[in-house]
Structure 1
Amino acid sequence: MKKLLLVFFLLLSHLGFSQTEVKREVVGRDIGQLKGIKISGRIIDEITGDALVGATVTVPELEINRITDNNGSFELILDRAEYNLQFRYVGYTTIDYPITAVGDGRISIKMLQEDFQLDDVVIYGSDPEKNIRSTDMGAITMSMNTMRELPPFLGEVDIIRSMATLPGVSQVGEASAGLNVRGGGADQNLIQFAGAPIYNPTHLFGLFTSFNADAVNGVTLYKSVIPARFGGRGSSILDIQPKAGSIAKWGGDLMVSNFSGKVGFNGPIVKDKVSIRGGFRGSYINWFLGALSNPDLKNSQANFYDGNLVISAPISEKNEFTYSYYTSYDDFAFSSDTTVSWKNNSHSLQWKSIVNDQIGFEVLGYYTQYDYSIFNRSGINDFDLNSGIKDYGIKAYLYYQFSETNKVTVGGDFKNLELQPGDLVPSMGEESGILPKKVQDEFGRESGVHFQHEFEIGEKFGMSYGARYDMYSYFGPRIVRQYGENQPISDGNAIGETTYGDGDEIQNYTGLGPRGSLRYSFSKSSSIKLGYNKMYQFIHLISNTATIAPTDVWKLSDNFLKPQIVDQVSFGFYNNFRGNIFETSIEVYYKDIQNVIEYKDGANLILQNNIETELVPANGRAYGVELYVKKNLGRLTGWVSYTYSRSLRQVITPFEEEIINDGDWYASNFDKPHDVTLIGNYKVSTNTSISATFGYSTGRPVTFPEAKFDYSGNSLAYFNRRNEQRLPDFHRLDLAVNFKLNGKGKFFDGDWTFSILNVYGRKNPFSLFFVDQLGAPPQALKLAVLGVPLPSISYSIKF
């Protein structure tokens, strides 16, 4: 499901659907060229000025299809002749554009939105064969139009949850943060907005995604063969690109629902040269918490907001600067006196340049800060517990286009990481019953250089290969413990300390990560692909929970914790049917994971200055089969995805007390063998559609106590083997109805969306907790976040 996900329904001209007529344009200066004429251009929305990502450019005379990139740009290599170009994009009027190519030149295309018209005759809005012809494996681009057809979560388009409907991508529950991709942990995904990493992409512990869909231009997930320009994570890259404002006129949007609201604006700062787009979203969620059945949640309070700002300056046809700012904030007060909060702030500045017909480059600098804290106001033991991450760096790459099907990319990147794992500050000073404590800060540097070559040999073969060389340094100031040789790493085996000064190197790691994919096409409608990918990860999320939480600890690789190394092999078969109306694929994969982190039995992870004493190194492996069937056209569209996968861990050390489950392989916290998603969208009329999502998955692993015993007057639970039991299976049905209100004035035109989450009131367990019972082992009780049908209504307008 790559960029071909963009589809739209248009009538032919004899059915009354108009096409824009354009007089034949002479492109380029006549300099005697006969072949190899380069025609480039950019496609934008005529009203808003937004770049149309994934639009299709067709040259019918040559049976050539091209897809616009993240900037709405495209390139064609033609011979000297007359052509009738066609431009298509989902929801927009098709444009016929006759040209006479006499030399290299550039054209600008402005497209107007058009309401969908329903009929049996349809035209594609993207290259219908790109999934067959591309060498990409596991690269999925989902358009915002596709996401808007899914039932909204609590009244809004949810980017993270939309990606979780794809094969090989899952979440551990209904209020879970992040994604689990092909058996990897949530920390193995690099989620970046406008090139800047985001460490917690959720509001309210995962109930909402912290990205405003109206500020997003496109979303691409890389889960198999990851391009060499990306590094630092083991499982996937989720690349979210912001939407620029119009350089032509001012406009805005407004959305209100029964849970949250948002407002946006965009327009030219300097007409036709510099644009701005801003947006703000906030919640009024407390009434919803009061409706929940769980008493702790029922008496809780929550607030969140997020904001975006994008300033884009296409100063020429060949140079564009873009500044992006993103912020989000959450606080959640439990029914007790404890409040949890977290916030993200990121800045990025990007420069894209086209040097000449063959060479272009991109440079991006960014700064990200993630802060998370817990504070208690119960009385004499009031405290603040603060943690945070600073991540800032620069990326650059240059490409050389030998020909239309032969391209080389080279580049590099560098970043600094600063972690504050924990700082406990008593609010009452000396009168407090809590002593202050600060965990040592951590400092690291990551850098890498990369190379990638993509080319085709005829129509049958395509290949992409490359490599990335990663370099990492862990440095002071820091006091590092020494432990006795041939002994477990524990507090009792510490024999000394070494003090490192500011900037002193403590440990360094390097690694070469080759990657590549090969494609063989049997025909225009079927192909097979084989891929290999190796990734290094130098930052770890230390957690004994299944989802990202503010209490988790982020930890850099050091002389005790080695970087994670992930090797993945993938194989896929892709086939389209009935003129590309149906798209199908089957992919199999195997991952080998080295140096993944597991925690010791009874580990205490909070405020640990020597957290290596609570951890053990583990091996991991993941494998699976992903089936995908998608219907692109007709009144009824949608897809079915099924994934069978396993995610396993093994802990074997020379010390018996550290071995988990007797050294046997056991399920990871997010191992869910069966995962099924069904998506359907039915166009009732031009202005009305009905959508449904059904999901089923195996319950995630848990560890039950097998007995209890008394120790020093306390009743304690006894746990034996880890993750041997499972929660009940998950399943849920969501429904939504969307219709467009056509008022007399444009301001009154808008979209109404009614949705019901959890239609039949399934009490899916998010977690278990245990209570003591006389004469029996502790009894498990489940916590369900959404245990009843949850209706929502939203109204959105553009002006």
Structure 2
Amino acid sequence: MKKTLLILFVLLGQFAIAQTSAPVKREVVGRDVGQLKGIRISGRIIDTITGEALVGATVTVPEINVTRITDTNGNFDLVLDRAEYNLVFRYVGYEMVDYPITAVGDGRITIRMIQEDFELDDVVIYGRDPDKNIKSTDMGAVTLSMNTMRELPPFLGEVDIVRSLATLPGVSQVGEASSGLNVRGGGVDQNLIQFGGAPIYNPSHMFGLFTAFNADVVNDVTLYKAVVPSRFGGRSSAILDILPKAGSIDKWGGDLMLSNYSGKISLNGPIVKDKVSVLGGFRISYINWFLQSMSNVTLRNSNANFYDGNLIISAPVSEKNEFTYSYYTSYDDFAFASDTTISWRNTAHSLQWKSQFSDKFSLEALGYYSLYDYGIFNNSGINDFTINSDIKDIGGRLNLTYAFSPTNKVVVGGVYKQIEIQPGELVPTGNEDILPKKVQDEFGREMAAHFQHEFELGQKFGFSYGARYDLYQYFGPRVVRTYAENQPKSDGSAIAETVYQDGEEIQSYDGFGPRASIRYSFNKSTSIKAGYNKMYQFIHLISNTATIAPSDVWKLSDQFLKPQIADQYSLGFYKNFKGNIFETSIEVYYKDLQNVVEYKDGANLILQNHIETELIPAQGQSYGAELYIKKNLGRLTGWISYTYSRSLRRVITPYEEENINNGEWYASNFDKPNDLTLIGNYKVSTNTSISATFAYSTGRPITLPQAKFDYSGNSLAYFDSRNQDRLPDFHRLDFAVNFKLKGSGKFFDGNWTFSILNVYGRKNPFSVYFDDAEGAPPQSFRLALLGVPLPSLSYAIKF
């Protein structure tokens, strides 16, 4: 064959689109051919090649200026009068479809769309609805398709989902090797990250150098950072919802990518033709040569490995019922030069059922199992040991949606989950005198009921309001201390112990969380929105580092550690220009936090059976302004995002020795007042594009010693105030060239991407440490993980 299967698919798809776009009127005839008004036209939009539903595609009726967005099954509904119309279907990265109809009665249609031919003059990268930011009541909700993220310079050779989101206003990371996201002044544990509906507790490889999600099996990602829909809860900052792809129900195909740091492959196709599909993906690293090129001696003498895998089985058994099973696993091990190995693993299963009982009533049910386990292994030959820990999260949810009309719907539902934490167990593996130790297990249960109502009043007003009631219970078995009154909690102030049996309730909390937003449209291109959001969080990351590390401790709320409570207020102004070519917005917010976890000075957090003696409750507040300017169309596309924000903490207790910074407000570990990102993508020709990202941010806070003193022959550091110093400001330029080669064989007919990370070799410090020489002041040194330009080359094909 002289042409690849991919080219054949594209040509066939273009022919199908050309046939669809022909100026032929289709009569949509149903059960009431005599009616003149209230004709209901429903349908489903799917990918021509894969057959998967296109979620969030837009259906526009220009004759009456009406636009609808497809639901999670790719379905849409229109109510029309008897007349001729030209339906216009759009989806980011796909060819637009014109579909003329003559509506004479109720009916249903199926629209097949194909991805854009990249030889077009313009590449449209705006969201699924070009003016959704103006018309919707969503605040702080951002959905990025994989086509949009592929426009960004790849990180170490491939698309990075988490780092793509960090280019948006209000979203940041604390450094170059940091996992998770800091959203509007929140910690990484204040975000719920879920893949296929199952929570993922550590979304990173290599301590944050890589994201632990294979982009080839992801359909899109949605980040909720302001007014979170009431069906989500359990976290106090943000929700990151990652939806997997579905395999093709028609034919087999796949993706292959190789870079100088990692490789991945995916394969998808029908198990039962037109009924059941499967999609499998696997990614693996060969990163050790990269570590050996680093300037840091410890990293250069270390070893690292990681992999992740996915399996998605989708069964659209009918137009109204679809079942999806998703399996996800990831594994890391990192061996330091000191013979210490750290490993962590995520495992997640989920099963989802979506059903459209009628044109108005639909159901979504999901059950999941998630496991996160991690360990530290010392194999030095002296005092060998292993420390193990894990989190098991099992739950399910049910959502019922009733649509009174396309602009008026109600969602009600319930959530149940139970969490079991094994905080840590020390197991000696040598012959030395190390005693085994096991921290008490924890068991908790969360239940919630929620509702949400979204509706529009004319063209000007849109409303969304709802509430969520959360109930949390903390159970035994557990031995709980009683501490003396009027004394700080410590081993010395413990006066009694209470033994709770298995299944016996120790503590419970509940809370009512209202959520609401309102939109007022001045015209088709301008609107203003306001929103309020209240959320509860019952699990906490106990850490004195700025990012997730395997040595961190996850802890459930108990009688000493109350749930975090967040109240957020948001206000935004949105304006599009020149037919949605330019999209702009400015949002301001204020967030009040209660019961934030802080640690005492000198706290010992590892293998601590009564960790309440090391922790203190804190108040938190964050506020800021976010500016976003995006160009959606043309040879040059991209966006500018700027955020000014503050994230502060305050600790005031009855005991002076426990107060931090004398009870004054101080910066949190992830407070970065200024954060600027510039994204540009220039299409040089039909086969070549250039992209660049420049990022600047204020350096994160750190605590530096103010002096040193000698005590009993030992030199000790003296620390005055917490987080009163800062690392130097961060800035970095990344650059990439993407081009297609038209080779004589399939192997050379793919996408090649050359990128340079850290173009001008900025030594951004990840941390600062001190070397204490006798008779001299302590000398400070910076640890920079990426201190030189780092090139990568990747090659990807579809087959």
* TM-score band, normalised by shorter chain: over 0.9
User: Match for residue 290 of structure 2?
Assistant: 288
Q: Which structure 2 residues correspond to residues 337-356 of structure 1 after superposition, within 5 A?
A: 337-356=339-358
CA distance in structure 1 between the partners assigned to 2:373 and 2:499 by the alignment: 27
1:155·1:792 contact (CA, 8 Å) conserved in 2?
A: yes
CA distance in 2, matches of 1:24, 1:566: 54
How far apart, CA to CA, are the structure 2 residues paired with 1:378 and 1:174? Answer: 30
For residues 690 and 305 of structure 1, do their structure 2 counterparts lie closer, same or farther at Cα, with a shift above 3 Å needed? same
TM value normalised by structure 1: 0.96
SS in 1 for 2:318: coil
> Given residue 266 of structure 2, which amino acid in structure 1 is its aligned partner?
G
Inter-partner Cα distance in structure 2 for 1:715 and 1:528:
59
Decide whether the 8 Å contact of 1:717 with 1:777 is kept in 2. Answer: no
Asked if 1 retains the 8 angstrom alpha-carbon contact of 2:369 and 2:393, the reply is yes
Q: Is the 8 A contact 1:635 1:684 kept in 2?
A: yes
Equivalent of residue 281 in structure 2, options 254, 279, 282: 279
Residue in 2 that maps onto 1:5: none
User: Is the deviation greater in 51-60 or in 721-730?
Assistant: 51-60
Matched residue of 1:498: which SS? Answer: strand
Is the contact made by 2:255 and 2:796 (CA closer than 8 Å) also made in structure 1?
Answer: yes
Q: Which residue of 1 aligns with 2:9?
A: none
Q: What's 2:428 paired with?
A: 426
C-alpha distance in 2, partners of 1:449/1:281?
38
Q: Does the 8 Å contact 2:93/2:125 carry over to 1? A: no
Q: 1:104 to 1:748 in 2, by over 3 A?
A: farther
Q: Contact 1:19–1:93 at 8 Å: present in 2 too?
A: no
Q: Does structure 2 retain, via aligned residues, the 8 Å contact 1:465–1:517?
A: yes
Q: Which among 42, 52, 55 is matched to residue 53 of structure 1?
A: 55
- Pairing of 1:35-184 with structure 2 (within 5 A): 35-119=37-121, 126-184=128-186
Give the C-alpha shift of residue 29 in structure 1: 1.4
Match of 2:766, SS state, is: strand
2:543 aligned partner, one-letter code:
S
Any gaps of 5 or more consecutive residues in structure 1? 1-12
**Structure 2 match to 1:582:** 582
The CA deviation at 1:638 is 0.3
SS of alignment partner, residue 389 of structure 1: strand
Partner of 2:701: 701
SS of equivalent residue, structure 1 residue 146: helix
Question: How does 1:248-327 map onto structure 2 within 5 Å?
Answer: 248-327=250-329
* Letter matched to residue 539 of structure 1: I
**Are residues 144 and 747 of structure 1, via their aligned partners in 2, closer, same or farther at CA, if it must alter by over 3 Å?**
same
Q: SS of 1:268's equivalent? A: strand
Q: Match of 2:646?
A: 646
Match of 1:30 in 2: 31
Please tell me whether the aligned partners of residues 705 and 777 of structure 1 are also in contact (alpha carbons under 8 angstroms). no
One-letter code aligned to 2:345: K
Determine helix, strand or coil for the equivalent of 2:613: helix
State whether residues 230 and 451 of structure 2, in contact with CA within 8 Å, keep that contact through their aligned partners in structure 1: yes
SS at match of 2:657: helix
The CA deviation at 1:119 is 4.1
1:422, distance to aligned residue in structure 2 (A) = 0.2
The answer to whether the Cα contact below 8 Å between 1:183 and 1:646 also exists between their aligned partners in 2 is yes
Distance 1:242 1:617 in 2: 38
CA RMSD of aligned residues (A): 1.7
| Cα distance in 1 between the residues matched to 2:84 and 2:69 | 21
Deviation (angstroms), 1:777? 4.5
Structure 1 residue 99: Cα displacement: 2.0
User: For residue 452 of structure 1, what is the amino acid of its counterpart?
Assistant: Q
Distance 1:194 1:225, change over 3 A: same
1:655 matches 2:655: yes
Equivalents in 1 of 2:123, 2:535: separation in Å?
45
Please say if 1:436 is aligned against 2:436: yes
- The change in CA–CA distance for 1:653 and 1:204 in structure 2 (over 3 A counts) is same
Please say if residues 144 and 213 of structure 1, whose CA atoms lie closer than 8 Å, have aligned partners that are also in contact.
yes
Whole-angstrom distance in 2 between the partners of 1:22 and 1:614: 73
Q: Which amino acid aligns with 2:500?
A: Y
Paired AA for residue 469 in structure 1: Y
Matching residue within 224, 227, 237 for 1:225? 227
User: CA–CA distance in 2 between the matches of 1:693 and 1:389?
Assistant: 37
Per-residue deviation at 1:114? 3.5
**CA shift in 2, pair 1:440/1:140, >3 Å:** same
Please report how far the alpha carbon of residue 528 of structure 1 lies from its aligned counterpart in structure 2 after TM superposition: 0.5
Residues 68 and 406 in structure 2, CA contact (< 8 A), matched pair in contact too: no
Q: Can you list the C-alpha shifts for 1:583-633, whole angstroms capped at 9, x where unaligned?
A: 100000000000000000000100000000001100000000000000011
Change in Cα spacing, 1:721 to 1:216, as seen in structure 2 (3 Å) is same
CA contact (8 A) 2:122 2:633 kept: no
Q: Is the 8 A contact 2:123 2:633 kept in 1?
A: no
What is the letter of the counterpart of residue 779 of structure 1?
Answer: Q
CA contact (8 A) 2:251 2:270 kept: yes
> In structure 2, what is the Cα distance between the partners aligned to 1:491 and 1:122?
62
Q: Distance in 2 between matches of 1:413 and 1:752?
A: 45
In 2, the alpha carbon distance for the partners of 1:227 and 1:774 equals 59
Structure 1, 411-420 or 47-56: larger mean CA deviation? 47-56
Q: 1:654-687 CA distances to partner (integer Å, 9 max, x unpaired)? A: 0011000000000000000000000000001111
Distance 1:91 1:510, change over 3 A: closer
Query: Is contact 2:517–2:532 with CA below 8 Å preserved after alignment?
Result: yes
Task: Find the counterpart in structure 2 of residue 720 from structure 1.
Answer: 720
Question: For the Cα contact (< 8 Å) 1:353–1:360, is it kept in 2?
Answer: yes
Identify the residue that residue 674 of structure 1 maps to in structure 2: 674
Distance across 2 between alignment mates of 1:486 and 1:643:
43
Partner of residue 212, structure 1: 214
Distance 2:73 2:468 in 1: 25
CA contact (8 A) 2:213 2:308 kept: yes
Q: Which residue of 2 aligns with 1:7?
A: none
Work out whether residues 287 and 305 of structure 2, in 8 Å CA contact, stay in contact via their aligned partners in 1: yes
**Structure 2 Cα separation of the partners of residues 151 and 121 of structure 1:** 16
The one of 185, 188, 194 aligned to 2:187: 185
Mapping of residues 603-618 of structure 1, within 5 Å: 603-618=603-618
In the other structure, the counterpart of 1:408 is 410
Residue in 1 that maps onto 2:491: 491
Do the aligned partners of residues 316 and 519 (structure 1) sit closer, same or farther apart at CA in structure 2, a change above 3 Å counting? same
Give the conservation status (yes or no) of the 8 Å contact 1:195–1:239: yes
Which residue is equivalent to 2:245? 243
Which residue is equivalent to 1:8?
A: none
- Aligned pair in 2 of structure 1 residues 278, 38: CA closer, same or farther (>3 Å)? same
1:322 to 1:17, Cα distance in 2 relative to 1, 3 A: closer
Q: CA, structure 1 residues 698+533, in 2 after alignment: closer, same or farther (shift >3 Å)?
A: same
Offset from partner CA, 1:321-359 (integer Å, 9 cap, x none): 000000000000011100000000000000001111111
2 CA distance for matches of 1:383 and 1:618?
Answer: 35
Between 1:76-85 and 1:338-347, the stretch displaced more is 76-85
Task: Give the aligned residue type for 1:509.
Answer: Y
1:566-596 per-residue CA deviation (whole Å, 9 max, x = no partner) reads: 0000000000112211110000000000000
2:564 aligns with: 564
Q: CA deviation at 1:774?
A: 2.9
- Please give the per-residue CA displacement for 1:278-302, whole angstroms capped at 9, x wherever unaligned: 0000000000000000000001000
Query: Counterparts of 1:64 and 1:126 in 2: how far apart (Å)?
Result: 15
Is the Cα–Cα contact under 8 Å of residues 20 and 93 in structure 1 kept in the other structure?
no
In structure 2, the partner of 1:335 is 337
CA distance in 1, matches of 2:127, 2:38: 27
Cα deviation for residue 487 of structure 1 reads: 1.2
**Distance in 2 between residues matched to 1:287 and 1:747, nearest whole Å:** 26
Q: Matched residues in 2 for 1:202 and 1:22: separation?
A: 50
1:594–1:482 distance in 2 versus 1, CA, 3 Å: same
Instruction: Give me the whole-angstrom Cα distance separating, in 2, the residues matched to 1:81 and 1:97.
Output: 14
Could you tell me how far apart the structure 2 residues matched to 1:121 and 1:237 are?
29
Q: Which residue of 1 aligns with 2:620?
A: 620
Deviation at 1:117, TM superposition (A): 4.0
Instruction: Confirm or deny: 8 A CA contact 1:567 1:591 kept in the other structure.
Output: yes
Q: How many Å separate the matches in 2 of 1:377 and 1:53?
A: 50
Long gaps (5+) in structure 2? 1-13
Matched residue of 1:765: which SS?
A: coil
Letter in 2 for 1:490: S
Structure 2 distance, partners of 1:116, 1:125, is 18
SS at match of 1:132: helix
In the alignment of these two chains, the number of paired residues is 783
Are residue 788 (structure 1) and residue 777 (structure 2) matched?
no
Q: 1:21 — aligned with what? A: 22
Are the counterparts in 1 of residues 708 and 718 from structure 2 also a CA contact under 8 Å? yes
